[in-house]
Amino acid sequence: MVVKADGTPLSKTKVAIYTRVSTEKQSSEGYSLEAQHDQLIEYVNSNNMQLIKLYSDPGVSAKNLKRPGVQELIRDLESGMFDTVIIHKLDRLTRNISDLYDLVELVNAKNVKLISLSEQIDTSNPMGRMFVYLLGIFAQMFRENLGEEVTKGMRKRAEKGLHNITVDLYGYQRQDDGRLLIKEDEAKWVRFIFERYAAGDGSTMIAKYLNEHGIRRNKGSRWDHSKVLLTLENKHYCGKVHNKFKKDDDAIVRDGQHDPIVSEELFEQAQTVLNRRREGTISQNTQEYVFGGILKCGKCGYSYTGVTDNRTENKNRHYVCGNKSRFGMCDQGGLSEKKLTALVFKSTYIISDEYNRKHVPKKTKSEEEEIRKAIRSSEDRRERWQLAYGDGNMPYADFSKRMQEEMLRITELEAKLSTIPKEVVSHLTPERAIKTINEIKDNWELYSQRTRKDIMQALFKKISIIKEGSNWRISEIILA
């Protein structure tokens, strides 16, 4: 028995040993489990240690820590079963620098020593701690390089039209080889989301319907408005792959190698509604007012709001200029929904290409175009100054001052550019819009109020009306 100077027994260090071999070749060249075991046991005995447990992974690669023996070792280490872990060589634990560093960090956090006989490393002494410090530097380099390589690989996949999805996407089932196959029992609800949203239903209403009918997302989670919006914005559903790897990078959009669940046309219709809702140019009411959000005053430009006359038996709906009703700043009167609908049906000519060529003034340069032009001019100036400085034709002080001023100007222009709302491009052609109106006008009275609103909101982004004398006319129509 080993005792202290005062005669009391000296408690033995509790140790665990770990062995691993991955190939028969290693075994034949002297790295067999038996050889490792004998060397480790000899060290334990010669240092008067107490062996608590032996862990082993025979015939397993050390590419990561997902091995039964190592996982059991980690669990027992975290529970405080032993004071020291002894191995024959560091690569018995893992060949991955990052994994090795994480394991050493865990050992240190639990106040457990790690001893490697071949490298003569003991983390309880200064040299061992220096090794851990250097190991951390290499592990950080490894992780950063790995992240860059992974991003490069994902970028190449995206450019080839291959997705980078690592889990099942609702509506698809991901195969072992990475292919996405349509899962029809889920895909039908993806189509439902796009169809109902394009028709005018809100994201909250769609989520409520799905939840009430027992439709669950992946892993049984419930729908909410944000999950519906994420579905609507996901280009995978129309057969594309969409990736953006860094904040300032342009997104990579390519035709994917998987089958679409919805058509590109339906996808774009849903995007148009989505953008209009974000801009506030589409009615948020459930079904009350057919022209809510799209009807504008042709005199002052203010929005017309819907009002219901509850004094009449039929509760007639009509529209009034909000600038007049709220502030008294406009003298243009109101118009009933029935007369307004008839006016729209009679005014299809102003939708036509022929009318636009004759009556609509050519579009002037937008604010966005002007800002982008200013940015390009700034880039040209900077390039000229760089050449002048490089040729010795401009002093450094002058060059530096001009570049700083220009960069400040660029920052201000880009900030201004970010505040300009994106223009919503219509998915409708004038011919298609006129055809739809001609098809529905004879049966308009047969439609429900909800259907009427769906139709008008899907056709038009803006309708401006103006009264001239005793007659009303539509002064402008912008298709949705």
CA distances from residue 60 to 103, 206, 387, 428 in whole angstroms, order as listed: 18, 50, 61, 61
Report, in this order, helix, strand and coil percent for the chain, each rounded to 5. Answer: 50, 15, 35
* pLDDT (0 to 100) of residue 58: 80
CB 305, CB 330: distance < 8 Å: no
Phi, psi of 286 (to 5 degrees): -65, -60
Low-confidence ranges of the chain (pLDDT < 70): 1-10, 22-31, 61-63, 95, 97-98, 129, 132-167, 243-253, 280-287, 310-315, 353-365, 390, 418-427
pLDDT of residue 191: 94
E-strand stretches of 38-167? 50-58, 84-87, 113-116, 121-122
In the block, which residue shows the tokens 């980690």? 74
Nearest to residue 237, comparing CAs of 210, 265, 213, 216? 265
What tokens appear for 54 in the block?
A: 């032996």
pTM exceeding 0.75: no
For the stretch 397-406, what's the b/e string if a residue is b when 16 or more beta carbons lie within 10 angstroms of its beta carbon?
Answer: eebeebeeeb
Q: Tell me, what amino acid is at 471?
A: N
CA 355 to chain centre: 42
Q: Which residues contact 82 (CB under 8 A, 6 or more apart)?
A: 14, 15, 16, 52, 53, 76, 112
Nearest to 384 by CA among 399, 396, 395: 399
SS3 224: coil
Q: Where are the beta strands (DSSP E) in 281-329?
A: 295-297, 304-308, 317-321
How high is the pLDDT of residue 250? 57
Q: 463's torsion region: left (phi>0), alpha (psi -120 to 50) or beta?
A: beta
Helices (H) and strands (E) in the chain, counts: 17, 15
Kindly provide the residue ranges of all beta strands, DSSP E only, lying in 206-337, ordered along the sequence.
240-243, 252-255, 295-297, 304-308, 317-321, 335-336
Enumerate the domain spans of the chain: 14-141, 172-262, 295-361+425-479, 367-418
Q: What is the pLDDT of residue 29?
A: 46
CATH of 14-141, one of 3.40.50.1390, 3.40.50.2000, 3.30.1310.10, 3.40.50.720: 3.40.50.1390
Question: Cα(50)–Cα(29) distance, rounded to whole angstroms?
Answer: 30
Give the CA-trace dihedral at 281, 285, 291, 292, to 10 degrees: -50
Parallel, antiparallel, or unpaired: how do β-strands 252-255 and 295-297 relate? unpaired
Residue type, 94: T
The CATH number, out of the four listed (3.30.70.2190, 3.90.1750.20, 3.40.50.300, 3.10.350.10), of the domain defined by the range 172-262: 3.90.1750.20
Q: Which of 29, 48, 149 is nearest to 89 (CA)?
A: 29
Q: At residue 362, what is the residue type? A: K
**Quick one: pLDDT at residue 263?**
93
What is the three-class DSSP state of 314?
coil
